[in-house]
A and B are shown apart, each in its own frame.
Chain A
């Protein structure tokens, strides 16, 4: 059921077994799953059921690092959270993303990809994705009889698209009808209160923009307010632990990261009968009566090559979209790219060459921009901290200092070079590699995926939460969401956020913590 915190008598006290702070993808998933296990849950949401400016303004903060969106624009603060505007991209993290790799500083999870496999499958249903298939060959077979670009070390991967599931709409009725799930709206948590020993949460303070103040006591608390706000709340709750909760080792808010997208080059395709449409968002034909699913192919290199060349994990999207200042007249028939296409096409593919010579002697070169989405280096100097300014509820606003690691620049160069070499080696195309003068490049893209600020690590000196997402040295405080990602992969985080939330719900249920 929904309860409007503004309409409760001031000073209201809520008593719950489990208190979840934040009703986005993680919070709603946790709440639904714990209720399914028969537990009663209190779910606290800062906003209402719809967007409102006053609540959204509580997200305001300062950007002092790499150029970034205003902090009140890159996330949403109402029931359903940022799923209210997500694009629906899903892909699980790869096994390699969980590994500690000596060429990726601070990398590695304390769990393996296989620990999440069953949760990814369950997350499929929640995100309305249908069958659990991410292998490119399968989807290529569903599409048509043409071939993938895959040759040699070049491999295709698949992104799939949720409708996208708007959690606030899709699960609203279920929450409304639930007797075990009490969802408090307009209920802003302003402080997490610890016991005197500082090793357990006793209660949280609530405030509404209408001036009401309430309090929630629970046995177990789960913080699920997003990659920036999770850190903000921990840092701001400093009455007992002066550096903020879980911050004895100065880790809360550090290692902030986002996925970066950069131009990997301009790709000239020289292989005939290649399934280029596979690399655009499309709905494969239903060969076996399956539900239509929207997918998009991407290129990468096989994991052996990634290991051997000590590269970061990446996916590369093919697009005809123009990046500013790139390949000025490359699509005209008289351009140099066209000559390259003729020469390389002659060498790589007799079929294509024969076709061109017989039927399309002036055919334009087929050019695609390679947009590389790369995992970034977990960077201790990239951080969320508290600003001096305060919001309408009196809480410190956040200051975001997003810093790309110097190794990111080097790595994007290596990936571009290796991808160009492998595409040439596979005789499927040639790549125009433009030199970068400025770092970060002006056309740097990012995913608005806020990760890493309460990273997972078995060692309290290196992570804020343990492998079960419990804050180190805190008996009853857990964290859900992408803030626990210790390294980031290149896949969009929502799928993994939901999988981790299901895993946490199981942990709390099985350990009798509720």
Chain B
């Protein structure tokens, strides 16, 4: 069986759910999945306020408004996908976050926030937390 990549799978599921207007439960399931992922990811940074400060500084510097769903997709994708993230305990999650951050620096996927050179993953996670605040 062909397994779709995470992003495609999520968009496919979203599309299916949108078209199935008669079935309201899966939409709620998706929302709750997003909430669950968001909650897990947020717990990786021990001071929420700091993450929001960094995230807001990034959002302020962006010319376009960022969509939290897309940001979540991006961050989760960088962490290995929703299935993996869902299955991780907090220790594993933070290890994975460290790996993703390290890989960002290796591949020059970095973002400058107020002059600080940061990994795209950590900045986007912070931006996500700022949007949720």
Specify the chain B residue showing the minimal Cβ separation from A356.
B46
Are the C-beta atoms of A421 and B53 separated by less than 8 Å?
A: no
Determine the distance from Cα of A434 to Cα of B49 in the docked complex, in whole angstroms: 25
Number of A-B contacts (CB under 8 A): 94
Question: Which residue of the partner chain, among B46, B51, B53, contacts A357 with CB atoms under 8 Å?
Answer: B46
Specify the chain B residue showing the minimal Cβ separation from A344.
B122
Counting CB contacts under 8 A, is A347 at the interface? Answer: yes
Q: Which residues of B have CB within 8 Å of A344?
A: 101, 118, 122
Decide: A353 near B105, CB < 8 A? Known: A339-B53, A430-B118, A433-B117: no
Q: Which residues of A have CB within 8 Å of B49?
A: 339
Q: Which residues of B have CB within 8 Å of A422?
A: 105
Decide: A421 near B98, CB < 8 A? Known: A342-B50, A343-B51, A346-B45: no
Counting CB contacts under 8 A, is A431 at the interface? Answer: yes
Counting CB contacts under 8 A, is A97 at the interface? Answer: no
Determine the distance from Cα of A126 to Cα of B105 in the docked complex, in whole angstroms: 45
Count the A residues whose beta carbon is within 8 Å of the partner chain — how many?
31
Are the C-beta atoms of B126 and A343 separated by less than 8 Å?
A: yes
Counting CB contacts under 8 A, is A201 at the interface? Answer: no
Specify the chain B residue showing the minimal Cβ separation from A334.
B53
B53 to chain A, nearest CB (A): 4
Are the C-beta atoms of B117 and A431 separated by less than 8 Å?
A: yes
Query: 8 Å CB contacts to A: which residues of B89-133?
Result: 91, 94, 97-98, 101-102, 104-106, 108, 110, 112-119, 122, 126
Counting CB contacts under 8 A, is B27 at the interface? Answer: no
Q: Which residues of B have CB within 8 Å of A340?
A: 50, 54, 113, 116, 118
Specify the chain A residue showing the minimal Cβ separation from B117.
A420
Counting CB contacts under 8 A, is B37 at the interface? Answer: no
Count the B residues whose beta carbon is within 8 Å of the partner chain — how many?
31
Binary flags per residue of A430-461, CB closer than 8 Å to B gives 1, else 0: 11111100000000000000000000000000
Determine the distance from Cα of A435 to Cα of B91 in the docked complex, in whole angstroms: 37
Counting CB contacts under 8 A, is B44 at the interface? Answer: yes
Counting CB contacts under 8 A, is A35 at the interface? Answer: no
Binary flags per residue of B29-71, CB closer than 8 Å to A gives 1, else 0: 0000000000000001111011101100100000000000000
Are the C-beta atoms of A421 and B117 separated by less than 8 Å?
A: yes
Determine the distance from Cα of A385 to Cα of B57 in the docked complex, in whole angstroms: 53
Are the C-beta atoms of A347 and B122 separated by less than 8 Å?
A: yes
Determine the distance from Cα of A422 to Cα of B106 in the docked complex, in whole angstroms: 7
Q: Which residues of A have CB within 8 Å of B91?
A: 350
Are the C-beta atoms of A424 and B119 separated by less than 8 Å?
A: yes
Counting CB contacts under 8 A, is A348 at the interface? Answer: yes
Counting CB contacts under 8 A, is A509 at the interface? Answer: no
Determine the distance from Cα of A343 to Cα of B94 in the docked complex, in whole angstroms: 11
Counting CB contacts under 8 A, is A212 at the interface? Answer: no
Counting CB contacts under 8 A, is A425 at the interface? Answer: yes
Specify the chain A residue showing the minimal Cβ separation from B53.
A339
Question: Which residue of the partner chain, among A339, A426, A427, contacts B50 with CB atoms under 8 Å?
Answer: A339
Are the C-beta atoms of A425 and B106 separated by less than 8 Å?
A: yes
Specify the chain A residue showing the minimal Cβ separation from B106.
A425
Other A-B pairs, 19, CB within 8 Å; known A361-B47, A424-B102, A430-B118: A336-B54, A338-B50, A339-B51, A340-B116, A340-B118, A342-B51, A343-B45, A343-B122, A343-B126, A344-B101, A347-B45, A347-B94, A347-B119, A350-B91, A424-B104, A424-B110, A425-B102, A427-B102, A430-B116
* A–B pairs, 27, beta carbons within 8 Å: A336-B54, A336-B116, A339-B51, A339-B54, A340-B50, A340-B118, A342-B46, A342-B50, A343-B45, A343-B51, A344-B122, A346-B46, A347-B45, A347-B122, A348-B101, A353-B46, A357-B47, A421-B106, A421-B108, A424-B105, A424-B119, A425-B102, A427-B98, A430-B116, A431-B117, A433-B115, A434-B115
